[in-house]
Amino acid sequence: MVMAKNGFVFVVFVCCLAYHSACASQPNIVFIMADDLGYGDLACYGSAVHHTPHLDALAAAGMRFTDFHSSGPMCTPTRAAALTGLYQQRFGSQFDTALSGVDDRDLGLPHEAVTIAEVLKPLGYSSACFGKWHLGYLPPWLPTSQGFDQFRGLASGDGDFHTHIDRSGSEDWWHNDQIEMTEGYTTDLLTQYSIDFIEQHRSQPFFLYVPHLAIHFPWQGPEDPPHRRKGMSYETDKWGVIPNPGNVAPHVKAMIESLDESVGKIVAALRKHDLQNNTLVIFTSDNGGYLTYGPNFRNISSNGPYRGQKTQLYEGGHRVPAIFTWPGKIQPSVSTATTHSIDLFPTIAALAGIETEGVRTDGHNLVPLLTGEASLPERMLFWRAHSRSAVRSGSWKLHRDGDKTELYDLDHDPGEQHDLAAQQPERVNRLIDAWNEWEADVSRSIQELQ
């Protein structure tokens, strides 16, 4: 199968024999992505504040990663990478950051991009996206134009959890390509859609993508009040009703515990229909958490021992929780393998029966790692957020911002406190050369798209 659009060629080889033999055992995929959830926000990742029994149980039953990274430090970049298996920079520099609800309403993930939903469709998978898209604001940039059979949720980066009004004051609750305003708390609505979808599709392979809005602002737990009204702009008032901005934590705690309940209900739905042994559940976050926001908001999220926060390329901006659970196939364990959002596409594609060699991806198929058959080969990983960039090689991480460079040895300095750049100029130069090579490569992809 060759999927080619405007010269951006993506080739998927589906071995007929492999496809037919895989049909009977094609696993379901449930991919749940939290929003802005920090490395230290779950009890199973060290939180002493949040009660997350369902996610802790999911982690205890599967493989919990301690060195998993989002492809960007913000929402849009990681979503583009996770769904395509490619560095988002291949789609243009606008994917270095979040698509804006003011300036980017006529943009979206290019239709030339091949998403995991598009690849799974010819293999007989039903697919749904229930949650926050943030890869386009309006048709034709919504999930149903990127291979998903169904979409319910919000297109923008943030909507009121009760009124579903986006930051610009527009209604933002969609059913496929139409606005369909619906009453209910966002996390609960997405959970119910997911449960219904599992029940309706229990007899065929499915791909369920649940990009929760929690715990992105507006910081509203289920019991917090609605805030936004249609027709008002919230560009300068986008955080919700926070009586004590110096302590956002109680609102975030309610959001996290609601998210945890959602995961518990989705897993329970799989169990109810006896699907748990034929379903891979993936849980991760699209970027690290905010510790502070602007001059006022404090005590928001936790990135554990890691430096920095959302929007930054220190570890706190992109090292995130990641849990892969598949009873009988993945043994309960903790993995220190360095893994990344771009690995999700090739992993899911491999499980669906697609020949790994035919998948154009920047990531690695994690199936051998998940099943204990093989470790991952060494590789470098790259991040770019406009002028700031980072490269990871083994335990070494180089940061650049203009002429400024910083070098850290994460094995001995996970908090990125001791800059070794001046002491190791040769290593710095090697990593800069590698990064330049990577940037030249992803820039060629942009030209192919034009």
Interaction site with Ca ion (CB under 5 A): 35-36, 75, 286-287
In the chain, DSSP finds a helix count (H) and a strand count (E) of: 10, 17
Pick 82 or 123: Cβ nearer Ca ion: 82
Shortest separation between residue 79's beta carbon and Ca ion, angstroms: 9
User: Does 215 sit behind a cis peptide bond, omega within 30 degrees of 0 on the bond before it?
Assistant: yes
Write down the catalytic residue from 75, 164, 201, 399. 75
Catalytic residue among 54, 134, 201, 251: 134
- What gap in Å lies between CA 175 and CA 189, rounded to an integer? 12
Cα–Cα distance measured from residue 399 to residue 383, given in angstroms and rounded to the nearest whole number? 9
172 vs 286, which CB is nearer to Ca ion? 286
Closest separation in Å from C-beta 393 to Ca ion: 26
Closest contact distance (angstroms) between CB of 216 and Ca ion is 6
Max alpha carbon distance in the chain (Å)? 61
Respond yes or no: is residue 134 known to be catalytic: yes
Cis peptide before 342 (omega within 30 of 0): no
Nearer residue to Ca ion within complex by CB, 10 or 31: 31
Nearest approach, Cβ of 285 to Ca ion (angstroms)? 7
Active site (annotated) includes residue 251: no
Enclosing H/E stretch for 32: strand 28-34
Structure tokens at 290: 């905010």
CB of 288 to Ca ion, least distance (A): 9
Other beta carbons within 10 Å of 377: 6
Structure tokens belonging to residue 349: 């594609």
CB 395, CB 410: distance < 8 Å = yes
Q: CA 154, CA 138: separation in Å to the nearest integer?
A: 10
Sequence-distant (≥ 6) Cβ neighbours of residue 430 within 8 angstroms: none
Dump the DSSP string for 295-309: TTB-S----TT----
What residue type is assigned to position 442 of the chain? Answer: V
Residue with smallest beta-carbon separation from Ca ion = 75
Q: Indicate the residue among 72 and 85 with the shorter CB distance to Ca ion.
A: 72
User: With respect to Ca ion, which residue has the nearer C-beta, 35 or 41?
Assistant: 35
Nearest distance in Å: CB 75, Ca ion: 4
Compare residues 299 and 311 and give the one whose CB is closer to Ca ion: 311
- In angstroms and rounded to an integer, the radius of gyration of the C-alpha atoms of the chain is 21
Catalytic amino acids?
75, 134
